[in-house]
Chains A and B, each alone.
Chain A
Amino acid sequence: EAQVTQNPRYLITVTGKKLTVTCSQNMNHEYMSWYRQDPGLGLRQIYYSMNVEVTDKGDVPEGYKVSRKEKRNFPLILESPSPNQTSLYFCASSLRPEVHNEQFFGPGTRLTVL
């Protein structure tokens, strides 16, 4: 089944404790992206990747890191999480962004930073 998977789905952590949210897609998509969703703000793009070893900042990259060592995986790293990073996080992928291609979204990861 074609899908984007994220792990964990739920995470409660404390300030400053490094964490990684994994994202994997099995559709051979080139483009992958991370978003955070906050009430009243919609989704905001954190980072995106056009292909392996190619990553770029979205609108809200501060406090986050990403890597794209393999085409299928695009982990999101919070080196020193803070309470303002409490949010719902989505990973998404698509074939190529510049043509008509919808983004396929993962199920979301709800992160709470205490």
Chain B
Amino acid sequence: AQKITQTQPGMFVQEKEAVTLDCTYDTSDPSYGLFWYKQPSSGEMIFLIYQGSYDQQNATEGRYSLNFQKARKSANLVISASQLGDSAMYFCAMREDNFNKFYFGSGTKLNVKP
């Protein structure tokens, strides 16, 4: 079974609007971490936000927030007030603490329209 599933290969959003990128995960490890990374066309991987499995509150970092629904095993990224510079590939990732391994989803390509 896939550890991380991102079901949206591509998305469009109008500049200044909010957008939600979906991510579901699969693990039996009670302790894990969830990450989102951004990969612009230049290729580098940029860390955006982190959520621990025991964190009670949803993580927020500026315009990024992580909508963590543990029972549903989902960790959606919400970008508020989209900017043209948000156009990039976005990857959801999970670290299983028992094994110290990382798993990435297949990514969502976001295009922000002016």
Residue of A nearest to B50 (CB): A100
B105 close to A42 (CB less than 8 A): yes
Residues of B near A102 (CB, < 8 A) are: 35, 47, 50
Please name all residues of chain B whose beta carbon is closer than 8 Å to the beta carbon of A92 when the two chains form the complex. Answer: 45
- A98 at interface, CB cutoff 8 A: yes
- The residue from B4, B6, B52, B104 contacting A100, defined by CB atoms under 8 A apart: B52
- In the bound complex, how far is the Cα of B101 from the Cα of A57, in angstroms? 9
Task: Give the contact-size bracket for chain B.
Answer: 20 to 34
Q: Are A42 and B44 in contact, with the CB atoms below 8 A?
A: no
Give bound CA distance, A19 to B66, whole Å: 40
Contacts of B107 in A (CB 8 A): 42
| CB–CB B106/A98 < 8 A | no
Contacting residues, chain A, for B105 (C-beta < 8 A):
42
Given contacts A41-B106, A42-B106, A42-B107, contact A98 B100 (CB under 8 A): yes
Q: How many residue pairs at the A-B interface have CB separations less than 8 Å?
A: 55
- How far, in whole Å, are A59 and B31 apart by their CA atoms in the complex? 19
The verdict on B40 contacting chain A, using a C-beta distance below 8 Å, is: no
CA distance A56 to B106 in the complex (A): 23
Interface residues on A, range: 20 to 34
Determine the main DSSP class of B at the interface with A. Answer: strand
Identify the interface centre among B6, B45, B47: most chain A CB within 10 Å of its CB.
Answer: B45
Q: Which residue of A lies closest to B6 (CB)?
A: A42
Q: Are B47 and A98 in contact (CB under 8 A)?
A: no
Q: Are A97 and B100 in contact (CB under 8 A)?
A: yes
Interface stretch, picked from A20-28, A43-51, A65-73, A74-82, is A43-51
User: B50 to chain A: which residues have CB within 8 Å?
Assistant: 100, 102
**Are A59 and B101 also in contact (CB < 8 A) when A103-B47, A107-B43 are?**
yes
Contacts of A56 in B (CB 8 A): 100
Is B103's beta carbon under 8 Å from chain A?
yes
Q: A45-B102, A98-B97, A100-B50 are in contact. List 10 more A-B contacts (CB 8 A).
A: A41-B106, A48-B100, A48-B102, A56-B100, A88-B43, A98-B31, A100-B52, A102-B50, A103-B35, A107-B43
